[in-house]
Chains A and B, each alone.
Chain A
Amino acid sequence: MSTAAQTAQGVPPKPAAPSKPTTLWSLLLHNRLAAVGLAFILLWTVIALIAPWIAPYDPYATDMANKLQPPSAGHWFGTDNFGRDILSRVLYGARISIWTGLIAVAISFFIGVPLGGIAAYYGGRTGTVIMRVMDVLLSFPSLVLSMAIAASIGAGLSSAMIAVGVVGIPEFARLMFGQTVSLREKEYVEASRAIGVKDSVILYRHILPNALAPLLVQATLGMGFAILTASSLSFLGLGVKPPIAEWGAMISEGREYIISGQWWLVTFPGLSIATSILGFNLLGDGFRDVLDPRLRSGK
């Protein structure tokens, strides 16, 4: 992605550091944008974990007497058309979004990586078939494909997770494919093969660890994508079921109220989606900068 390169160049040369950072984390923290991204992610993760303790109200308690109240001291983010506290719903929504992102990326990762590895390692017809199927999946716009999957297995949170997960598979498969193609010719892989190590062990022990860096970048970026796509599905009515507090669904429910002036129904869940995705994208770019030796040596 071009943004990665720009980000890397956009970071001003650091003043002579007292000690040259060497570990992944310290490198990452010296990349300011990545640090900002990490901060957003940590913030939302902590919120997701402790939402029940910090939410000022029950996110599902309706109070028709206080509906559509603008932000105030009592309701920081205002109330929605059922009088539910939007701040509490946004905080609870973090749980759904982070959880959806994790599960979806896990599905993509644990299916995509083995497929890509097998396709590259064995090559031949198996490889061709697997990778052509991946190409077919990639040829659909991701949101359209996830909508088709979610619609065919029925709306709901778990089907949204599966849909988003399946859509992410080809990215991981292609990445792993590329890595494996170059790694399988390395001497240590040939040596292992020569002494009779099983293929599965070679793939898992020798190839995967060396291919992990780009996969990690993809997984981080994929989290942002998964959160956005899952929210889009909920916005379109294919995600969570009412009354679950989910950011995309909240925007969908609130959009009817924009023209009548109740901006807070959509603004706060919208900002939440934006900041969480920004966090994952910045961190992903940071990972890429740190893990790519060519970029690192440039500094």
Chain B
Amino acid sequence: MKKVKLLSTLIAFSVMLAGCASSANPQTPAATNSANSGAAAQSAAKPFLTVAYSEGGTTLDPAEANDLTSDTLVLAAYDQLVTYGIKTENGVNLANTEDIQPMLAESWEVSDDNTVYTFKIRPGVTFQSGNPVDAAAVAYSFERVASSSSGSFLYGMASIKSVTAKDDSTVEITLTAPNHMFLQIISMYTFSIVDQKTVEAQGADYLKTNAAGSGPFTLEKWDPATEAVFTPYEDYWQGAAQLGKVTLKFTKEASNRVLLLDKGDVDMAIEIPPKDVSALESNSNLTVASNASNRILYFAMNSKVEPFNNVKVRQAINYAIPYDELLSGVMYGQASQMKSSVASNTPGFTDAGYVYEHNLDKAKELLKEAGYENGFTFDFTLGSGFDDWEDDAVLIQAELAKIGVTMNINKLARAQFLEQQKTHNLTSYISKWTSFVNDPGYHLGFLMYGSGSSNYNNYQNAEVDKLWEQANAEPDQAKREELYKQAQEIITTEAPWAYLYEYNRIVGMSNKISGYAFYPDEVIRFYPLTKQQ
């Protein structure tokens, strides 16, 4: 009898748990469902889009999002004050990050001293909840960024001093000093405008797993392990999206994404391995968009750790990297050579000071001058998740062995690697970087400025810091670029990194898809996409 009781209690308990789980699912609030049932009938006739993504995202909070999938989800559900324009080069649509276009702000004015921006909010725009988009919501959204852990650095980088709602449709943003990057930074997903009333009603954690924006798509479901589903917001101020439904399928294995795309099970796939590009190109149903991006890959050497505190040792490593093998053998030509700490398609780029080539004799000579004639042994940390990193590491290891240098490869899972990187204690590692604002000030500020938040290999040079600070305060574009060029030359000569390559951004898609544009932040905007049925 006792056992039966226990069993029935257990069953009852598990049923309760199951009940909790389904009702706790925050992605399907009843209100949204009923509001959308009419819309669902309309959108049924529109084509559905399915995209294979590599990762499932970590948060839906615009101020905290900091990975490609989270950023993509945020940009589908939210609008920003202003956004980037589009240009066409050689028949390819690209974002033009210097061309700032109105979005939720209909227009804006800048004071004569370039420190006060007054934005006029577009009238009649509503959040997906039905609440109006007003100046108070904008001010609230900016405050959230200021107090966030991820976005606050950008807030500082944009030099924002205060954000005030002057009246319902006017927002005044005051800067601490003129900042040429301000409009480019507030176009980012971080500065998405959130529905203040909904967030305040639902509590602070609501935005982590729910979207409350005015963007073109309503989030129906988000499960980081499997998929995210969007349906169009029918009252979107630019008109409802052309797609009836957008599904992101989270598919970790690159080969699976390639198979799904090749067999027509998904319409688009991101992060296609370079080796599979030629096979996909031979499929007549597919187009492979491979664009030079500003995503760079570098081999970082910790300037505070022996022997990499010696410039000559770092230069020697630069001479030992088999650059051509990395480009052709590992990347199958889907990358280009990197010759500065800044990507070559960033305004103000210079390859001044770049003298490195694969030359083991020169490398040995430099090691001898540095007092490491017999080589040395060092630890290298390899973050998992990117096949090309491991291939690069093995090839570099083989070359270094030829000059007597032993490189111990320690593999870490991606999450652990990112944690370890933040300690500033890794001796050496490979890492990628994409500057969402394609500007050397933004880029070097993170990576090479002495106290830059991502300067994990402890590069310190007083002159570089001074040039960067000078450039940031310099209103004249040409003069500013000149200062950045001087900084790049010093950096390249001092070689805190070995420059590996600049990636192509590879997206494979069905020929039925049109409207794709490439953005430096690598996020696909779904709103402009259309699909033939």
Contact = CB atoms under 8 A, between A and B. Distances in A.
Q: A and B from one assembly?
A: yes
Interface of A: 60-62, 64, 67, 81-82, 151, 154-156, 237, 241-243, 253, 255-260
Contact of B409 (A241, A253, A257): A241
Contact of A237 (B275, B393, B395, B411): B411
Contact of A259 (B258, B387, B390, B394): B258
A259 B258 CA distance: 9
A242 B255 contact: no
Contacts of A155: 410-412
Interface in B272-291: 273, 275-276, 279
A64 B322 CA distance: 11
A82 B408 contact: no
Interface string B368-407: 0000000000000010100100110111011000000000
17 contacts: A64-B322, A64-B325, A64-B395, A82-B394, A82-B395, A155-B410, A155-B411, A241-B409, A242-B394, A242-B409, A242-B411, A243-B394, A243-B397, A256-B387, A257-B275, A260-B275, A260-B276
Contact of A242 (B325, B329, B390, B413): B390
Contacts of B390: 242, 253
B416 to A, nearest CB: 9
B329 A67 contact: yes
Contacts of A64: 322, 325, 328-329, 395
A241 B410 contact: yes
B254 interface: yes
A151 B255 CA distance: 26
Contacts of B254: 256
A209 B276 CA distance: 59
A61 B398 CA distance: 7
B17 interface: no
Among A67, A151, A257, A259, find the residue whose CB has the most chain B CB atoms closer than 10 A.
A259
Q: What are the nearest 8 A-B pairs in CB distance?
A: A64-B329, A64-B325, A62-B398, A242-B409, A259-B255, A241-B409, A243-B394, A242-B394
Contacts of B387: 256
B18 interface: no
A26 B390 CA distance: 50
A237 B384 contact: yes
B408 A60 contact: no
A156 B391 CA distance: 18
A155 B322 CA distance: 27
Contacts of A60: 398
Contacts of A237: 384, 411, 413
B43 to A, nearest CB: 34
A82 B391 contact: yes
B409 A255 contact: no
A288 B328 CA distance: 55
Contacts of B394: 62, 82, 242-243
Contacts of A255: 255
Given A82-B391, A242-B397, 10 more contacts: A61-B398, A64-B395, A242-B390, A243-B394, A243-B397, A255-B255, A256-B273, A258-B255, A259-B259, A260-B275
A260 B279 contact: yes
Contacts of B411: 155, 237, 241-242
Interface in B317-370: 322, 325, 328-329
B248 to A, nearest CB: 22
A154 B410 CA distance: 9
A237 B417 CA distance: 13
A288 to B, nearest CB: 37
Contacts of B273: 256
B275 to A, nearest CB: 6
Contacts of A256: 254-255, 273, 275, 387
A243 B328 CA distance: 20
Contacts of B258: 259
Contacts of A241: 408-411
Nearest to B416: A151
B110 to A, nearest CB: 51
Nearest to A151: B413
A243 B254 CA distance: 22
A155 B255 CA distance: 25
Nearest to A155: B411
A243 B397 CA distance: 8
Contacts of B329: 64, 67, 82
Interface in B244-283: 254-255, 258-259, 273, 275-276, 279
Among B279, B329, B384, B395, find the residue whose CB has the most chain A CB atoms closer than 10 A.
B329
A256 B255 CA distance: 6
A251 to B, nearest CB: 13
Contacts of B413: 151, 237
Contacts of B279: 260
A61 B394 CA distance: 11
A151 B391 CA distance: 22
